[in-house]
Chains A and B, each alone.
Chain A
Amino acid sequence: MANALLAPDLLRRLEAFELAAPRRSRGFARGERRSRARGHSVEFADYRDYAPGDDFRYLDWNLYGRLERLFLKLYEEERELPVTIALDASESMAFGEPRKFDFARRVAAAVGYVALCGFDRLRLSAFPDRPENQEAARGLRRVRGRASAPSFLAQMALLEAGGPADLSGALRRIALETRQPGLAVVISDFLDPAGYESGLKALWGRGFQVSAVQVLAPEEWAPAAAGDLRVVDCETGQAEEVTFGRYRLAAYQRVVRDYCDRLAAWCRRQGSPCFLARSDAPLEDLLLKKLRQAGIWG
């Protein structure tokens, strides 16, 4: 099942990556990420005065020899990095050839696999909540460790796209439900009529380090339909009348480009990387080059 999403060769190459977290982890459980907490590791952090009851094993005897004062050596605590993947599984993601959702799911699987290989705690939240996805969603709510990767990939393969999206609502809910903010990767087409701004703001406000991946289908870049059209939104049913043809394609693509640039600029202002990908683009190119160059992982 895993091979259906990601090729074994790609998985092997992804194992060499580790998700980059610019800020220290705020996780509770021990892991392999540096954190602000003091604990037991090999990384020296600071000294403090000895207090009765402290473990003698952490006294710096060399410093006592020079200063005749007892100082305790403090080490950094290594904790896990909570990684949240918000995957848009709405009806609009089911469009395109190849489908946007297939592409987005593979990107999410790759990010999740990298997180699991780095012993990060992974949570994948597919929205909207649909009964068809509930069973898979339960298995994706809290995953950790490399051993969970096959199960994770299998559950990912069970997800299906459908239903109306509420991107901002879903992101706000993730922000509220999360106790330990960490890294958040939002994979969507960001074409919600209600907008995406409030959702992303909620993640940033909660302390998430957000990365956005916008997936668009080739048909959204260059619609094949032409003439006098009545375009109908598949999610909302809202219709618009438009006259379109190949001579107006450039103007349309300018509109699309402006929309995507606006999202990217808005994310950049918040210090978050944003990637635009076509669903027919090679996945390896995105995963192994663009994401790495952008510092999502390294």
Chain B
Amino acid sequence: MHFLTPAAFGFALAMLAVILLYLLKRKRLVHLVPSTVLWRRYLAETRASAPFQRLRNSWILWLQLAWLALAVLALARPFRAAPTDQGRLLVMILDASASMQCRDEAPSRFEAARAQLGQWINSLQGSDQMVLIQAAAATEVRQSRTSDKGALRRALAGCETTDGPTRLAEAVKLADTLSKEQALAEIHLFSDGAAPDLQDVTLKTPQLAYHRVGRQGRNAGIVSVDVRAHPENPAERAVFVGVANFDTNEIKAELELRFEERLIGVKPLSLGPRETRPQVLLAPQDRDGVFTVRLNTEDDLAVDNQAWVWSPLPKPTRVLLVTKGNRFLSRALEAAPLVELTETADYGDGAGRFDVAVFDKVSPAAWPAGGILAFQAAGPDWFTNATTLEQPVIVDWNAAHPLLRFVSFDAVQVARSRAVPMPDWAVSLVEAPRASLILAGQRQQQRIIWVGFDILESTWPLRVSFPIFIANAVEWLSPASSQAGQFMVRTGSPLRLPAPRDLEGQAAAWTVIRPDGSRAVVPAEPGRAERFFGGTTRQGLYRVEAGGSRETYCVNLLDAPESDVTPRFELQVGKSAAAAVPPARLANLEGWRWIAAVGLGVLLFEWWFYHRRTA
């Protein structure tokens, strides 16, 4: 025999209570009488001097114990395996993203959803089964298919919110996969609907019920943050902050900037309904450190009211120019800010100590480790099968790319250019009708810019856009720029931890100190110098210690759809399927436990009343 709720055997302790009540003598009321002569003759049977009396054999006691044993057995819900009809499969998806921390529901949307889900677990019937999935930045199956309500309740109690964005598509696809072979399958989504990624999902399961939590969307938050050198004052840093109001009413707030917890300034803000406004905060900086931006306002979601950004001091970029003579290129590199230029015609010694290597019509035997700007160069790993285009016409360029900021290719003619197949790691910056003339991308942590034509065979060096492009390229290729994104990641995304430069640090244990002070050791991956840490469920500063080196990583939400906490009354799943909020459905909530509990109370009352009656 098996039991659905074996924990109910704990009620068997009530038997001890019954026996104890039989043993325990009751507190006596003092009563003054003329004489105890008459009483003494009557007292022989009830006389006792100890608090407990001898347990006498009483059929009422045995009846009570038998009744109690049966009640406890019933509470444990015994069952046996027997063929029966196939029940429903309920796949429950619990949204645990940052927006579920919204306090418009008491105490939070997540707890309200958890309570709803708890009622569904209570209403689970005999052959029904349930799967519990927690969806946030990562999807996690908290409880596989089971009918065990206790296991489901424990799994539900173990769910907790994260500071990450919502990624419901993966959870819905997983739920769809789990339920596609089940005849009676339902997918229930407990969320506030802040899930922009569901439109690409195609469901095979016909029933997807959306249980909305949340009532209003009063929230303002920080949706972007960046720090750059001040263009006019090199001693200052400019912190760019994007602040958005997702409420339909105006919100007044204060934007606070701190550097290493030292208050720099406070800027009052008044954001109109659903307005996003960029803000620039200037701050002096004398050392490497973390800027903290905090939005002080009374809204329902606190997690997006602060952000951190790591800001190292600008350092000169060491540039190696390998050319057989290109005055335009040399001058443009020299004109770029914070550049230490070294020019050589022979690349025999390698470029190990340089941050950026510029190859002008020179193809090295092995590419250096730093950033690469290559003009008509071919290497051992890429661009080996190049063809030649004669007089390609520039038809378009990607002006949104940081490399082409303030760069225009109007009136730039090129005599000839090499054309290469587009690699998967690069994007096209400048395009001719049949090929890309300039490519840029990141390949295994190495930033590469490839220019297919010789600038001396074009009019580009004569245009003002050329030195600007070179300056942008040096900045983009410099380690500070390339690693800036590495030190600031979104909540839920893994931290990419590069190998420390010293061997001692590489050999030591790598430890991540979370924002709450807890530590986690990051194991090494075989064959890779860098390591990854995926437990970024909470935003804040993550300190990484490896031997003597210590790095700071900023984990921020910075997700506008997540900060938009307006509850969605309807979810668009796929192109046509819409999951509306289901009407209130009557669930068969079991009430026999309460009846059994009342039965226990009646039993105890019977004991008390019996003794009172016979007293």
A-side interface residues toward B, CB under 8 Å?
A: 91-93, 95-96, 100, 189, 191-193, 217, 220, 223, 225-236, 238-245, 247-248, 251-252, 255-256, 258-259
- A191 surroundings in chain B (CB, below 8 A): 34-35, 37-38
B29 to chain A, nearest CB (A): 5
Closest CB-CB distance, A187 to chain B, in whole Å?
A: 15
Q: A225-B29, A228-B28, A240-B47 are in contact. Are A235 and B615 (CB under 8 A)?
A: no
Question: Does A193 lie within 8 Å of B27, measured CB to CB?
Answer: no
| Cβ–Cβ contact A242 & B46, under 8 A | yes
B6-52 CB contacts (< 8 Å) to partner A: 25-43, 46-48
Tell me the smallest distance from the CB of A278 to a CB of chain B, in Å: 13
- Tell me the nearest residue of chain A to B33, going by C-beta: A231
* A233 proximity list for chain B (CB < 8 A): 33-36
Known A230-B29, A241-B28, A242-B46: A189·B34 in contact at CB below 8 Å: yes
What are 6 A-B pairs with beta-carbon distances under 8 A?
A193-B37, A217-B34, A231-B39, A241-B28, A241-B43, A242-B42
Asked whether A232 and B37 contact (CB < 8 A) given A227-B612, A243-B46, the answer is no
B34 pairs with A240, CB closer than 8 A: no
Asked if B613 and A230 sit within 8 Å, CB to CB, the answer is no
Asked whether A226 lies within 8 Å of B615 as measured between CB atoms, the reply is yes
In this complex, what residue of B is CB-closest to A96?
B34
Q: What residues of chain B have their CB less than 8 Å away from a CB belonging to chain A? A: 25-43, 46-48, 612-615
Residues from chain A with Cβ under 8 Å of B26 in the complex: 228
Q: Pick from B34, B38, B615: contact of A243, CB below 8 A.
A: B615
Evaluate contact between B33 and A230: CB separation under 8 angstroms: no
Which residues on B sit within 8 Å (CB–CB) of A230? 28-31
**Given A241-B28, A242-B42: A247 in contact with B613 (beta carbons within 8 A):** yes
14 new A-B contacts at CB < 8 Å, known A243-B614, A245-B612, A259-B37: A93-B34, A220-B33, A220-B34, A225-B29, A228-B28, A228-B29, A234-B32, A235-B34, A238-B36, A240-B47, A241-B46, A242-B43, A245-B615, A256-B38
Contact present for B43 and A225 (CB under 8 Å): no
Contact partners of B30 in chain A: CB under 8 A? 229-230, 232
Chain B residues with Cβ below 8 Å from A252 are 38, 42
Q: Which of B32, B42, B48 contacts A232 (CB 8 A)?
A: B32
Chain B nearest CB, measured from A210 CB (Å) = 21
For residue B46, which residues in chain A have a CB less than 8 angstroms away from its CB?
Answer: 241-243
Whether B38 lies near A255 (C-beta < 8 A) is yes
Q: How many angstroms from the CA of A31 to the CA of B39 in the assembled complex?
A: 47
Q: Are A255 and B29 in contact (CB under 8 A)?
A: no
Can you name the residue of chain B whose Cβ is closest to the Cβ of A234? B32
**Residue among B35, B43, B614 with most chain A CB within 10 A:** B35
When the two chains form their complex, are residues A229 and B29 in contact, meaning their CB atoms are under 8 A apart?
Answer: yes
Do A192 and B34 form a contact, CB below 8 Å, given A227-B615, A228-B26, A251-B42? no
> How long is the Cα–Cα vector from A35 to B203 in the complex, in angstroms?
130
CA distance A227 to B612 in the complex (A): 7
A166 to chain B, nearest CB (A): 13
* Residues on A with beta carbons closer than 8 Å to the beta carbon of B31: 225, 229-232
- State whether B615 touches A95 (Cβ < 8 A): no
Given the interface pairs A241-B43, A243-B615, A252-B42, the reply to whether A92 lies near B34 with Cβ below 8 Å is yes
Query: Smallest distance from the beta carbon of B177 to chain A beta carbons, Å?
Result: 68
In the bound complex, CA of A243 to CA of B611 (Å) = 10
| Complex CA distance for A229 and B39, rounded to whole angstroms | 11
Which residues in A have their C-beta under 8 angstroms from that of B28?
227-230, 241
With A231-B33, A234-B33 as given contacts, are A241 and B48 in contact (CB-CB < 8 Å)?
yes
Q: With A and B bound together, what is the CA distance between A227 and B26 in angstroms? A: 9
| Bound: A243/B42 CA distance, A | 10
Decide: A227 near B34, CB < 8 A? Known: A242-B42, A245-B615.
Answer: no
Task: Indicate which residue in B29, B38, B615 contacts A220 across the interface (CB closer than 8 Å).
Answer: B38
CA distance A72 to B32 in the complex (A): 68
Q: Kindly provide the distance from the CB of B57 to the nearest chain A CB, expressed in whole angstroms.
A: 19
- Once bound together, how far apart are the Cα atoms of A239 and B36, in whole Å? 8
CA distance A244 to B613 in the complex (A): 10
- For the complex of A and B, list the 4 residue pairs with the smallest distance between their C-beta atoms, beginning with the closest: A92-B34, A191-B35, A95-B34, A230-B28
- Cα separation A230 to B46 with both chains bound (whole Å): 11
Chain B residues with CB under 8 Å of A238's CB are 36
Bound CA–CA A235/B33 (angstroms): 9
Residue of A nearest to B42 (CB): A255
Identify the closest chain A residue to B611 (Cβ).
A243
Contacts of A258 in B (CB 8 A): 41
Q: Which residues of B contact A236 (CB under 8 A)?
A: 36
Contacts of A229 in B (CB 8 A): 28-31
| Chain B residues with CB below 8 A from A245, complex form | 612-615
Cα A193 to Cα B39 in complex, Å, equals: 11
Closest A residue to B614 by beta carbon equals A247
Task: Report the minimum CB–CB distance from B54 to chain A (whole Å).
Answer: 15
Could you say which residues of chain A place their CB within 8 Å of the CB of B615? Answer: 226-228, 243-245, 248
Q: How far is the CA of A263 from the CA of B32 in the complex (A)?
A: 24
A252 CB, nearest partner CB in chain B, Å: 6
Partner of A240, one of B36, B613, B614: B36
Q: How far is the CA of A97 from the CA of B338 in the complex (A)?
A: 114
Q: How far is the CA of A240 from the CA of B31 in the complex (A)?
A: 10
Which residue of chain A has the shortest Cβ distance to B48 in the bound complex? A241
Contacts of A225 in B (CB 8 A): 29, 31
Task: List the A side residues contacting B33 at CB < 8 Å.
Answer: 95, 220, 223, 231-234
- Distance A229 CA – B43 CA, assembled complex (angstroms): 11
- Which single residue of chain A is at the shortest CB-CB distance from B613? A247
CB of A240 within 8 A of CB of B40, answer yes
Give complex CA distance A192, B43 in Å.
Answer: 17
Q: A100, A223, A239 — which one has the most chain B CB atoms within 10 A of its CB? A: A239
Given contacts A228-B28, A241-B46, A247-B613, contact A259 B35 (CB under 8 A): no
- CB nearest to A259 among chain B residues: B38
